[in-house]
Amino acid sequence: MGDGQRKITDGPPAKPDTTHRYVDMVEIAGWFGISHRAVANWRTRYADTHPFPEPDVIVGRTPGWSRKRRPEIETWAAGRPGPGVGGGRPRKSS
């Protein structure tokens, strides 16, 4: 591979005629009953403090995660900051 391209692998090559299937943000959103835009927001909103798991592959501009990582993503979601954590408009005092 030339011209600045890198080949990154995480293990041995797949056997010929093997297809790897990944989940995208739409499918991840379905796991949580939210929109895919909410998943996209998670990826950027918590990037510094509680980063969303990195994708296993990016095809074009579409990230994909292995289905085997669902428990990791669910654990991430359970540990993300909840409502009222930082930012936003202060509450009105009475």
Arithmetic mean of pLDDT, 11-27: 84
Q: Where in the chain are the domains?
A: 22-79
User: Among candidates 16, 34, 17, which has minimal Cα distance to 25?
Assistant: 34
Alpha helices (runs of H) in the chain, residue ranges in sequence order: 25-32, 36-45, 70-79
Percent pLDDT > 90 in the chain is: 54
| Helix 70-79 vs helix 25-32: crossing angle, to nearest 10 | 60
Which residue(s) pair with 23 in the sheet?
A: 65
* For residue 58, pLDDT beyond 60: yes
* For residue 80, pLDDT beyond 60: yes
SS3 71: helix
Element (H, E) at 7: none
User: Among candidates 55, 56, 54, which has minimal Cα distance to 11?
Assistant: 56
Kindly report, residue by residue over 32-52, the tens digit of the pLDDT: 999 999 999 999 988 888 999
